[in-house]
Structure 1
């Protein structure tokens, strides 16, 4: 286990990664929360779509999640699990492509700027440097 790295190449608070993952997968960018939410919503919709009769709880979960995805349904009604997981619209494709490019760029920066240990646990922040200087 190691820290996920932010776009500043510092440890992301509360986010862990597996140290054997490629660097691209261990960094989080500004679009990471949105893309991760979209991936989870697509997976929930796909699971609900495979069921003959999804439970009311599954429908509520999908409805709550899909409200945050502009092209997931027909507005305020219940989302149709079969309508969009197979053909996600622009709200899915656009951030996913930008996110992949941003993560690739972050991984390249990390490889170029950080040593092996810092690639796993992040670079020291200015507050860490200042704190160490005050204690010396």
Structure 2
């Protein structure tokens, strides 16, 4: 059994070590967060539709900004939730709820932004096909 002293408590020694920890974080986010998995599936769907419809390079730029904004915001929301839980534990706290609700609201606003971008990009392309 590993002791507490076996865990890294110092700065990363090199870029590869930092990259490994970052990759671990993305894997943890994907494994533990249902909404991150949902947004990832939605992003893949948007990419497939974009490829099928041959959207322009400019449209791809907007789609990618929207996709990554949602994924990053979902990660930030997860960090906020985990930090609040670390502070209050398994006890109800109105202020903690307020903080978590605001973080979740930011994800929702970002998702609305992404949906608007999707409509702006895909509706004209679909109308040209009809």
**What TM-score do the two structures reach when normalised by structure 1?**
0.31
Higher relative contact order (CA 8 A, sep 6+): 1
User: More helix per residue: 1 or 2?
Assistant: 2
User: More strand per residue: 1 or 2?
Assistant: 1
